[in-house]
Structure formats: C-alpha cells, structure tokens
C-alpha cells in the first residue's frame, strides 16, 4: 500500500486558545499574554514539532463574542499585542518555522503593511508571511473613516449585503496588489554598496509602481529592498464565494472551513476554478483546512474537557470552523481523509493552550510521521521553499 502524500501543518495562535474560557485552565498562562516570553515559548514549541508555520491573530478592535458589536463580558480575554511585532520579536529566536502574523487591511495603508512584512522577511531570513484580513464591520465605527456596514449572519445572502461584501473584497484585492507591487519595486540587485565609488544603490533598479485604483493611489517605491523570498507568503481565511474568489486571486494559501470530505473537495474545486479565471493556472495555490481541536488520550476525556470549558463560559462554544473533539490518532485519520479530498494542508486552532498545542506538536505529529505523512526534520530554505512555491520573478525587471 502506498504511503499518503506528506501534508503541511500550521498552527493558529490566539491568546490562551480558541475557547473563550481557555484562560481559566490550570496550565494556562493568562498573566503572560502580554509578554514576549509567552509568545516565544509557544512558537518554539511549534518549531520543535516541525510545524510549517504559525499564524498570529490580530484585529482592530477588542475581541468580542458578538459579530457586529463589542460585548461587555469581563470573563474572557480582551486585548492583544501587535501580531507583526510579536513575529519580529520571535524571529531571531527561531530558525525554521514560518511566521505569519495577521494584519488587517480595512484601516491601514498597503505601504505600511508592505514594509512591515518585508522587514519581517529580512529579520527571519525568509520565513515571513502575512494573513491578510478585513476588519469586522463594527470596527469601522471605531475609526470614523468609512461608513459602518454591519449585518447579521442571516442576512448574508441578501443582495445589498452581497454587494457591500463585493465592494470590500474588491478593495482588498487592490490592497494586496499594491503590497505585492511594492515588494517588487526594488530589483534584487538594486543595492550596490560600493564604497570606492560611493554608490549604494542603482537608481535604475528602483521602480515607481504607479498604482491607480478606486481606493488607492500609490507611487512607490518601497523604502525596504526586495524581501529575501521576493514575495513573502500571502494567506487568507475565506468563507463564501466572494472571499473564495479573493483568496484564489490574491493568496498563496487559502484557509477554508470544510464540514466533511465532500465539502472539502467542493471547496478545492472552487478555489481552482477561481485561480484559473484569474490567470494563475500555472501557479500553486494551497488550500488548507481550518479545524479547532480539543485533543486528549480518549475521545471521552476530550469531550469532557470541552464540556467543562463550555460550562465555565456559560454557553456552548461554536466556531466558523469544524470543531474536532477526540484523540490525536483520530485527528490523523480525519486529516488524511480530508487530504484525500484535495486539501494540501491544515491550520489547526488549539482549543486550549498549552494542552492542545502539546497534543498537536508532541502526539499528532508523531502519529503522522509514523504513517509517513509528515516530515521528520526541517530542510534548509525559505517558507516558500517548504511549501513548494518558487521565488517569483520580479515583475519590473527589464521594465
């Protein structure tokens, strides 16, 4: 019997875990949430587990149990450190793992995101990525720069809601395009650094990007030279047809939330169709499945722990992603079934940290290695190399 294809694994880090009551677990470290040591420990643990990359959550507003407005709860974690700055702090302390912070697009400028992620790529020696995210609608009111367009989930399919979403994601497409052009605005050999002649750069190899769109007018060039990877990894989480189109047209990795293998197959086909429609048929766009995981030695123990956390929270925790409750071996079965449906990797959200993070890095990884489905060591190279993505040719060479 042939061995399964090696899959990719990412871990999504958010506070003390994705369950809102996780901070009350015995081994949680809520007092360390706003320290560099806390995040360093988590990411080093993920690196010891040979994880491809970690994502770090961020937002423009306080966390909320409600979609369209802040809540008044005082029994859940509120507040975060800046994800890009966390990644930059941890980068010199790690050697292999990819670092993919979230940076929102709705209330920032592409020039700032471009230089921040490019800087992270230099600091990490080619291990940087970006999780491009739109702000939640209610966060618009926190800035006053745009009209608030909040809506309820049940209204999602209404024509006016779909039109508003399409407009926001079209803006997001332009945002990512500007970021990518700025990464290319320096050719790879633009820096001369020749002391005898006094020439530091070749000005002919710095390029204006001259982007003109409905929302952005950016001349460039960037103030940061072209990153080591050329183009750091761009990743997006996508729900629904409009976000799927955005991911397929702009990202290197699209996170989807399949309910089962049949749904995973349909999602991968959707992304492939949109990728081809965007003229990217010769490019690899990875499709990762997102799962929230509660893992223990037995399925019963995992379910009991989830139920206990629900009781502490005062309600049953639900998620946009499938919630897996069971053993690491059972999770390995699930991942391989979903991989057979077309997914190339998975982003796992630990329900509670450190317990579920340890179960991923120390037990699940060993189980997948035993089945020949996961690496046994890191190989040298960039994050793009690890994911089988070539270093892109600079679009301005020869311009």
CA distances from 237 to 27, 138, 216, 227, 319 (A): 29, 19, 23, 24, 14
Per residue in 150-166, pLDDT (tens digit) is: 666 677 778 887 888 88
CA distances from 378 to 51, 95, 383 (A): 9, 10, 11
Phi-psi region of 193 (alpha: psi -120 to 50; beta: other; left: phi over 0): left
Secondary structure of 246-259 in HEC code, one letter for each residue = HHHHHCCEEEECCC
Q: How many domains does the chain have?
A: 1
pLDDT exceeds 60 at position 1: no
pLDDT band at residue 149 using 50, 70 and 90 as cut-offs:
low
Asked, for residue 215, whether it belongs to a domain, the answer is: no
Q: Mark out the alpha helices in the chain (DSSP H runs).
A: 36-48, 83-90, 110-123, 159-183, 241-250, 261-277, 299-313, 328-340, 355-358, 365-370, 383-386
Identify the CA nearest to 327 among candidates 284, 286, 278, 363.
Answer: 363
Q: What is the pLDDT of residue 399?
A: 64
Asked, for residue 164, whether it belongs to a domain, the answer is: no
pLDDT exceeds 60 at position 195: yes
| Assessment of whether the complete model's pTM goes beyond 0.75 | yes
Identify the CA nearest to 244 among candidates 173, 340, 346, 342.
Answer: 173
Asked, for residue 182, whether it belongs to a domain, the answer is: no
Rounded to whole angstroms, the Cα distance separating 318 from 47 reads 28
Per residue in 297-323, pLDDT (tens digit) is: 999 999 999 999 999 999 999 999 999
Q: What is the CA radius of gyration of the chain?
A: 21
Q: What is the pLDDT of residue 307?
A: 98
Q: Are 152 and 67 in contact (CB under 8 A)?
A: yes
Report, as an integer, the average pLDDT of 175-198. 96
Q: Which two tokens stand for residue 158?
A: 């209404």
Residue 101 burial (CB count, 10 A):
25
Rounded to whole angstroms, the Cα distance separating 392 from 399 reads 16
Q: Are 128 and 87 in contact (CB under 8 A)?
A: yes
Asked, for residue 56, whether it belongs to a domain, the answer is: yes
CB-based contacts of 122, cutoff 8 Å, min separation 6: 224, 227, 228
Report, as an integer, the average pLDDT of 131-144. 83
Which residue segment(s) compose the domain that 307 sits in?
8-140+227-386
Per residue in 49-103, pLDDT (tens digit) is: 999 999 999 999 899 888 778 888 999 999 999 999 999 999 999 999 999 999 9
Q: Are 240 and 169 in contact (CB under 8 A)?
A: no
Q: Tokens 């019963």 correspond to what residue? A: 300
Q: What is the pLDDT of residue 220?
A: 94
Mean pLDDT score of the chain: 94
pLDDT exceeds 60 at position 226: yes
Angle between helix 83-90 and helix 36-48 axes, rounded to 10 deg = 60
Tell me if the bond preceding 354 is cis, omega within 30° of 0.
yes
Q: What is the pLDDT of residue 142?
A: 78
Asked, for residue 1, whether it belongs to a domain, the answer is: no
CB-based contacts of 195, cutoff 8 Å, min separation 6: none
Between residues 68 and 332, which one has the greater pLDDT? 332
Per residue in 2-45, pLDDT (tens digit) is: 556 889 999 999 999 999 999 999 999 999 999 999 999 999 99
CATH of the domain at 15: 3.20.20.30
Rounded to whole angstroms, the Cα distance separating 62 from 351 reads 19
Phi-psi region of 393 (alpha: psi -120 to 50; beta: other; left: phi over 0): beta
Rounded to whole angstroms, the Cα distance separating 320 from 302 reads 20
Q: What is the pLDDT of residue 67?
A: 77
**How does DSSP assign 211-231, residue by residue?**
EE-SS-EE----SSPPPTTSS
Tell me if the bond preceding 301 is cis, omega within 30° of 0.
no
Rounded to whole angstroms, the Cα distance separating 262 from 168 reads 30
Asked, for residue 38, whether it belongs to a domain, the answer is: yes
Q: What is the pLDDT of residue 334?
A: 98
pLDDT exceeds 90 at position 139: no
Per residue in 202-213, pLDDT (tens digit) is: 999 999 999 999
Q: Which two tokens stand for residue 399?
A: 């311009």
Asked, for residue 344, whether it belongs to a domain, the answer is: yes
Asked, for residue 293, whether it belongs to a domain, the answer is: yes
Identify the CA nearest to 240 among candidates 219, 254, 227, 223.
Answer: 254
Phi, psi at 138, each rounded to 5°: -65, -20
b/e burial code for range 341-355 (CB count within 10 A of at least 16 → b): bbbbbbbbbbbbbbb
Q: What is the pLDDT of residue 202?
A: 95
Per residue in 241-299, pLDDT (tens digit) is: 999 999 999 999 999 999 999 999 999 999 999 999 999 999 999 999 999 999 999 99
């Amino acid at each position: 019997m042939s061995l399964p294809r090696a899959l990719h694994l990412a871990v999504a880090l958010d506070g003390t875990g994705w369950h809102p009551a996780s901070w009350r677990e015995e081994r949680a470290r809520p007092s360390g949430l706003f320290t560099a040591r806390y995040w360093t420990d988590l990411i080093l643990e993920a690196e010891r587990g040979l994880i491809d990359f970690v994502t770090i959550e961020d937002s423009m507003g306080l966390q909320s149990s409600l979609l369209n407005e802040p809540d008044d709860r005082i029994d859940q974690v509120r507040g975060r450190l800046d994800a890009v700055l966390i990644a930059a702090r941890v980068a010199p302390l790690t050697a292999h793992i990819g670092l993919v912070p979230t940076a929102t697009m709705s209330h920032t400028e592409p020039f700032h995101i471009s230089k921040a992620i490019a800087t992270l790529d230099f600091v990490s020696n080619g291990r940087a990525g970006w999780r491009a995210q739109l702000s939640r609608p209610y966060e618009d009111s926190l800035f006053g720069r745009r009209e608030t367009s909040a809506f309820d989930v049940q209204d999602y399919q209404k024509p006016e809601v779909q039109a508003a979403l399409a407009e926001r994601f079209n803006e997001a497409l332009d945002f990512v395009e500007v970021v990518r052009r700025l990464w290319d605005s320096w050719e790879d050999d633009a820096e001369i650094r020749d002391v005898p002649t006094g020439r530091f750069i070749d000005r002919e190899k710095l390029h204006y990007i001259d982007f003109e769109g409905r929302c952005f007018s950016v001349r460039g060039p960037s103030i940061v030279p072209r990153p080591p990877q050329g183009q750091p990894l761009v990743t997006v989480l996508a729900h629904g047809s409009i976000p799927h189109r955005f991911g397929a047209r702009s990202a290197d990795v699209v996170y989807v939330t399949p309910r089962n293998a049949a749904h995973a197959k349909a999602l991968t086909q959707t992304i492939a169709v949109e990728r081809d429609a965007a003229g990217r048929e010769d490019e690899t766009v990875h499709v990762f499945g997102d799962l929230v995981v509660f893992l223990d030695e037995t399925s019963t123990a995992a379910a009991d722990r989830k139920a206990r956390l629900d009781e502490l929270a005062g309600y049953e925790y639900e998620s946009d992603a499938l919630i897996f409750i069971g053993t690491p071996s059972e999770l390995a079965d699930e991942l391989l079934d979903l991989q057979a449906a077309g997914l190339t990797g998975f982003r796992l959200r630990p329900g509670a940290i450190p317990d579920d993070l340890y179960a991923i890095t120390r037990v699940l990884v060993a189980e997948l290695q035993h089945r020949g489905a996961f690496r046994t060591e890191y190989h040298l190279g960039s994050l793009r190399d690890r994911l089988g993505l070539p270093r892109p040719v600079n679009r301005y060479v020869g311009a």
